[in-house]
Structure 1
Amino acid sequence: MEDFFGSEEGALGRIREGDVASLSTVPGLTEAKASRIVRSAIAEEYRAVDLLQTEVVERICEEVLKKIRRGAQTAYGEAKLSIYFPIGSKERISNVQDWVRKALNTEVGDGTDEMLEGVSPLSPPNRTRIGDRAVVTSDPEKIEEARKAFPEVAVELVENRRELRGVAANHERVILIDEAIPWSSDASERLDHKPGAVDDPVEIVPERVLSFFAENAEAVRNAINVWKSIDAPPSGLFEGIDDGRIDEVEGLLSRLDPTGGVKGNEGVKRVGRALNELDGSIADAEARINEEIESVFGEREIRVEGTHILDLVKQKGEAKDLIRSELESEFDRAVDEAVGNLVSDLELDFEEKDLACDLFPREPELPVERNEQVADRLKKRLRRKYSRKSLNAKTELAKELRGYEEDVRKLVEGVLELDVALAVKRFAEEHGMTLPEFGEKGFKIRGGRNLLLEDPEPIDYRAEEATLLTGVNSGGKTTTLDLVAQVYVLARMGFPVPAEEAVVEPVDRIYYYRPSKNTMNSGAFEGALRKFENVLELDGSKLVLADELENITEPGASARI
């Protein structure tokens, strides 16, 4: 993590800021792991004690958190919400409440939820090996520096013409980073001269920039759409983001294809199509020539005059020579027409056309077959040209995109945090919740609704000291205690509570005891009573909820209690 953020302080700063988005981009760290790290840091910073002292109240806390997390549209939002937990620190609660107030005032347009689903933390740039490219230098002092600067490509030390030709034979593009070497012309067709490239890696590996944007294009585009839909973002969420620069990024992304290639470059498109379709076009031309010649030969009548016969006899010529001379023009016409169609279909330039004209023999013979050596030279010429044009187009786009990484990072992280805020807002609005106040003694709840019931009846309840809650069976006693636990759990998180109004006393620990069908025996009752030793021994204020504690034992003993 230190290497990723440049220093230990850089990593610790992200953790202290609760920057789960940045932390989750560290290789090997998921959003969930990053959230756990931040949660542990919060607990350490505020010296948090274990506020929830029993399994029952822990279970209620988890059920409430699940309901909140369901409102998140992203995996990041679900994970980030887990950094919020009941805590005794007034400062922490106050900070969270300030954030919640901003979240409750957030306004976004229709369709934001669907756009949020496509947003995720940014992936780091992909540094896979690029096999068609090599960097060369004749300076031994530069070789290690170049290898560190360009780990994606081969970096070779060349000391003579033979070594340079060897590198050129194995790579489509060779980049010379020296000022000059006297024998560089030996590989001039494949050689690019870029002496300052070590200080500007985009000249050699534009894929480093392009892969970052290509891999994250969907997340960025969705984040831009969300950004445009926001009417009233929480203050501080999108600080430093410039509308103009976001529009520029959006335009540049339209030129980038999902593989990191450049869309819309006519030169690259033409050569790429010609390269892909070359074999098929040559086969079609070959078939067309043979069909044309066979058709012409089958219908043609050749008249042999007496002088021709005498020439054949006197010079010991062959009849096929006479036939060839008679059909030569037809043969040339068929070849020229087929090659012309190939050149036109593939949009070959003048240099490529010259090679294409030698693809087929000019001597009448059947069957007509392509010249494999010429076809191979044409294919290599197109491949090198495609490599050069593609690299140039990538470099140009990478130079334009370079520098926008921080804009994109701020935007995506802001949108992910927006999802967290909106999840809390949805939860609060769905259940008619309000932020509680903190009082001096006991609690007061007005219009409280149990979050775990489908259609709860609002209730009012208050208590300042030890209170016995009585009522008929199924009269709502357990539901009321659950509601009190929910209010306290959420209040100590800094979150809204399910009530029209709530005032609660800050407590250091919460206990909730409830009988279980598996523990209805005398030993279980004795164990439950022993647990109360902790309640009595530990200092600090406490909320203790006990639901029909006497039922933890046998029915007869329960009645006596």
Structure 2
Amino acid sequence: MDLETIPGVGEKTARALEALDEPERALRRGDVATIATAPGITQGRAARIARGAIRQEHDDPGGFLATDRAREVYREVLGLLKERTVTDYAAQRLETIYPSPRRSRIEDVQAFAREAIDRDDDDAVLEALEGLEPLRNPGDVRVRERCLATTDAERYSEAKEAIPELSVEIVENAQGLAELARGYSTVIALDESFAGVTLEGDVQVKPGALENPAEVVPERPLAFFARNRDRLQAAVEVHQAADLDPACDLEALGDGLSRLDEDGTVAGDDELDRLTTAVDDLDAAASAAESVANDRLREAIREQDVTIEGSDLLSLVERGAGVDSLLSRELADEYAAAVEAAREHLIDALDLDQGESEIARRAFSDEPAFPVERDKAVVSRLREELTAAKERRAGRLKRELAADLADQREGARQLVRDALELDVELAIARFAREYECTMPEFVESEARSASEDDGVTTESDDPVGFAIEGGQSPLLDEPLEAIDPVDYAVSDVALLSGVNSGGKTSTLDLVASVVVLAHMGLPVPAERVRIRRFDDLHYHAKTQGTLDAGAFESTVREFADLAQGGEGSLVLVDELESITEPGASAKIIAGILEALSENSATAVFVSHLAGEIREMADYDVTVDGIEAVGLVDGELEVNRSPVKDHLARSTPELIVEKLADEARDDAVATNGGAPNGEGDPEPVFYDRLLEKFD
């Protein structure tokens, strides 16, 4: 796959994507989480790139949503799906599901959706999902206590590139290695010539180190698990709560994570903890040991009666002797006891082993002095020993843990991907359940099926545009139980008539949302839907007020383009007559319908001028009607499902009919039962108005 051919991907973005382990796989799967790990690519951008890659793979020309209102419907139904996600990832991942005319793309999503709608979203799963996030890149890892050494300049360059986490040093001979060993806790020699050389310190000869970086720098694989520790644990909880089949050994992964701190250090090892604490507390413990010795020595001096004869004092002064000589002569035992207490305190406070204790004991000299002070050189030596032991221990534990987790890395990635995808599936499942959705059935004519490589779901000789049974628009701001189910089917071009507030616009919204969801490959809010695969959707919302000349001209041009190339189009138009004067509107709409019909498009035009348009058209235009049953307490009672081949009565006609009926009843009562209100001008007036509607 040429990454730069993907819409929205330039040279710089292509280079960022190439940094991924398997960029083509991630793009084909719409794996937003993985794409977003590429340098400089956000989740939102990742979703757009994935959508472009999917379009390219399915040879999708785009542009299915051909008008502003069509795009609004898509954003609204997509918003309903995104509202039901828990993670930000799932919301972005849904952005890669878009309406497409391509069968291959629709069926890909349908396969995903069919599995999704069977998912059960209990509270435990949703709670576990709340802690889930996509994996993060571990970032740059830098190890300062270890280095690589070589005598070869070319080898030096290879090492710098292969293992950037470590410093690389050039040495001339074994003496150079020895000098490095004094500055680093571990030196790894890359040259075979150093084999057999014995040096003080931790010097390891590993000629093949560059071929196995993880052994030399276990921090590299461990950084991935350390940085993503919480995310991986959340993914484990999701799998356990949802009873998913894991992509890796959850017990082994959990054990490995329990041994790893967030900073990448190994946790739970008593010896490493002891050494770490000893290094951290060394200065404080040495100071405290000094205090122990000096406090004991002061107390001994206070309690001791020291008598010095004049000749002895004179001799001490003449020799320039000070308190040290006095301590040696008069308080030798007390000084020795004080120093021993300091040594024991230092050893106990740091929990030192035998070898470390031998060094620690030398931190306080046997030579009397007051105040007692630690030997800083010895304490520094002890720190070096402790630090080196700590690093050796940490290095060995890291290598062991890295080896244990090495086989879990790809499985861990998949574990998180599966948990994130579960959130997408559950959002679709909740939407399908809440709106009582079903999977639509795509139906095409045999002629079109034979002419297209990507085929259809079902072939039929009967022309089908769309056929909706028991549909309930998800765009209505009403609870589902308050929405009347609608049955409506159109196979060619139809006018939809009906009373004001009878549900004509809601019917168009229902059709649009069903068509959009079906072409996304998702379940639709209806009991059953049969639908053809459209090339695009043109939904024109009701215009507010008459258009000026320029806007009117633009609208007519748009319909001219549709009339010439709209065979695979679905056209939904809401009261186009509002674009200009009613008389001219009827003529224009009639002409548009004639052209769309000749071009075999599917269309529904909502209009209050259905009768006039039908009269002006040069063919038998189908007129469907949303029929009002009548007026009850001043409110319309409506059959929301359009009646085929029926021009619905208007609201004014119903009101006049109601007035005429009431006037007749009043006339009968007033005239003592005279029929038809004879002699009463009021019923005659209403009857005359009613005749105008015939």
TM-score, structure 1 normalization: 0.88
- Secondary structure (helix, strand or coil) at the match of 2:467 reads strand
Partner of 2:429: 425
Matched, 1:529 2:570: no
Mapped partners of 2:530, 2:583: distance in 1:
40
Superimposed CA distance per residue, residues 446-505 of structure 1 (whole angstroms, 9 cap, x where no aligned partner): 332221223151331313243333333333222221111111111111111112222223
Q: What is the aligned partner in structure 1 of residue 336 from structure 2?
A: 332
- Evaluate the alpha carbon distance shift between residue 183 and residue 438 of structure 1 in structure 2; reply closer, same or farther with a 3 A threshold: closer
Match of 2:190 among 155, 171, 177: 177
Instruction: Select 2:475's aligned residue among 437, 452, 455.
Output: 452
> Which residues in structure 2 correspond to 1:97-136 (within 5 Å)?
97-107=110-120, 109-136=122-149
Please say if residues 362 and 378 of structure 2, whose CA atoms lie closer than 8 Å, have aligned partners that are also in contact: yes
Between 1:355-364 and 1:309-318, the stretch displaced more is 309-318
Q: How does 1:311-390 map to 2 (within 5 A)?
A: 320=323, 321-322=325-326, 324-390=328-394
Q: Tell me the residue number matched to 2:613.
A: none
8 Å CA contact 1:525, 1:550 repeated in 2: no
Q: Which residue of 1 aligns with 2:542?
A: 515
1:543-558 pair list within 5 angstroms: 543-553=570-580
User: Relative to 1, partners in 2 of residues 1:368 and 1:319: Cα closer, same or farther, differing over 3 Å?
Assistant: closer
Determine if the alignment matches structure 1 residue 404 to structure 2 residue 431.
no
CA contact (8 A) 2:121 2:426 kept: no
Task: Say yes or no: does 1:461 pair with 2:465.
Answer: no
Q: What secondary structure, in the 3-state scheme, does the structure 2 residue paired with 1:61 have?
A: helix
**Among 478, 501, 504, which residue is 2:505 paired with?**
478
Maintained 8 Å contact 1:289/1:338:
yes
Q: Do the aligned residues in 1 keep the contact of 2:473 with 2:509 (CA within 8 Å)?
A: yes
Identity of aligned residues (%): 37
Matched, 1:37 2:64: no
Name the CA distance, whole Å, in 1 between partners of 2:521 and 2:285: 70
**Which residue, 231, 236, 240 being the options, matches 1:228?**
240
Conservation of the 8 A alpha-carbon contact between 2:469 and 2:487: yes
CA distance in 1, matches of 2:281, 2:313: 46
Answer with 415-424 or 467-476: which moved more. 467-476
Compared with structure 1, are the counterparts of its residues 130 and 441 closer, same or farther at alpha carbon in structure 2 (3 Å cutoff)?
same
Q: Write the distance in 2 (CA, Å) between the matches of 1:353 and 1:450.
A: 81
Q: Which residue in 2 is equivalent to 1:168?
A: 181
Structure 1 counterpart of 2:410, one-letter code = E
**Residues 227 and 366 (structure 1 numbering): CA distance in 2 closer, same or farther, change over 3 Å?**
same
SS of the aligned residue for 1:525 comes to helix
1:47 to 56, 59, 62: 59
Equivalence for 2:296: 292
Instruction: Tell me how far 1:11 sits from its aligned partner.
Output: 3.7
SS at match of 1:432: coil
**AA aligned opposite 1:203:** E
8 Å Cα contact 2:135/2:413 also seen in 1 = yes
1:149 aligns with 2:143: no
C-alpha contact (below 8 Å) 2:327/2:369 kept by paired residues: no
Distance 1:43 1:285 in 2: 73
Q: Using a 3 Å threshold, how does the CA distance of structure 1 residues 540 and 9 change in structure 2: closer, same or farther? A: farther
Query: Comparing 474-483 with 517-526, which one deviates more in the overlay?
Result: 517-526
Give the aligned residue type for 1:44.
Q
Distance 1:194 1:518 in 2: 82
Kept after mapping to 2: 8 A contact 1:126/1:208: no
Distance 1:426 1:469 in 2: 33
Inter-partner Cα distance in structure 2 for 1:9 and 1:536: 49
CA distance in 1, matches of 2:348, 2:547: 90
Are 2:569 and 1:542 aligned? yes
Deviations along 1:85-105, one digit per CA (max 9) or x if unpaired, are 111122322232222111111
Aligned length: 549
Kindly indicate whether the alpha-carbon contact (under 8 Å) linking 1:273 and 1:346 is maintained by their aligned counterparts in 2.
yes
In structure 1, what is the Cα distance between the partners aligned to 2:312 and 2:111?
110
Q: 1:109 Cα deviation (Å)?
A: 5.0
**Partner AA of 2:172 in structure 1:** E
Tell me, in whole angstroms, the C-alpha distance in 1 between the residues paired with 2:132 and 2:169: 41
Do the aligned residues in 2 keep the contact of 1:54 with 1:511 (CA within 8 Å)? yes
Counterparts of 1:301-316 in structure 2, within 5 Å, are: 301-303=305-307
**Structure with more contact order per residue of length (Cα contacts < 8 Å, sep ≥ 6):** 1
Unmatched tracts of structure 1, length 5 or more: none
Q: Secondary structure at the match of 2:509?
A: helix
CA deviations over 1:223-270 (Å, ceiling 9, x no partner): 111112224x5xxxx68x35xx23212111110110111011222111
CA distance in 1, matches of 2:216, 2:284: 33
* 1:497 lines up with 2:524 in the alignment: yes
For 2:297 and 2:238, how far apart are their aligned partners in 1?
64
Partners of 2:195 and 2:137 in 1: how far apart? 40
Which stretch of structure 1 is more off in the superposition, 169-178 or 529-538?
A: 169-178
> Is the Cα–Cα contact under 8 Å of residues 128 and 241 in structure 2 kept in the other structure?
no
Alpha carbons of 1:500 and 1:270: their partners in 2 closer, same or farther (altered >3 Å)? same
Unaligned stretches of 5+ in structure 2? 4-13, 444-462, 588-608, 610-694
The answer (yes or no) to whether the contact 1:522–1:553 under 8 Å persists in 2 is: no
Q: Secondary structure at the match of 1:450?
A: coil
C-alpha distance in 1, partners of 2:315/2:90? 98
- How far apart are the structure 2 equivalents of 1:53 and 1:559? 24
CA distance in 1, matches of 2:327, 2:59: 103
Query: 2:476 is aligned with what amino acid?
Result: L
Name whichever of 387-396 and 156-165 sits farther off.
Answer: 156-165
Cα distance 1:319–1:514, how it changes in 2: closer, same or farther (>3 A)?
closer
Is the deviation greater in 97-106 or in 545-554?
Answer: 545-554
Q: Are the aligned partners of 1:442 and 1:462 in contact in 2 as well (CA < 8 Å)? A: no
What is the deviation of 1:515? 3.3
Matched, 1:415 2:381: no
> 2:295 aligns to what SS in structure 1?
helix
Partner residue, 2:672: none
Structure 1 residues 325 and 528, CA gap change in structure 2 (3 angstroms)? same
Please say if residues 17 and 23 of structure 2, whose CA atoms lie closer than 8 Å, have aligned partners that are also in contact.
yes
Give 2:417's aligned amino acid.
E
- Verify the 8 A CA contact 1:246 1:407 in the aligned structure 2: no
Supply the AA of the counterpart residue of 1:97. Answer: Q
Give distance in 2, aligned partners of 1:516 and 1:324: 109
Amino acid in structure 2 at the alignment position of 1:41: A
2:218 corresponds to: 206
In 1, the alpha carbon distance for the partners of 2:117 and 2:381 equals 68
Q: What is the distance in 1 between the residues matched to 2:58 and 2:327?
A: 102
SS of aligned partner of 1:490: helix
Distance 2:541 2:315 in 1: 124
Q: Which region of structure 1 is more displaced relative to structure 2, 284-293 or 416-425?
A: 284-293
Counterparts of 1:8 and 1:143 in 2: how far apart (Å)? 27
Give the drift of 1:183. 9.1
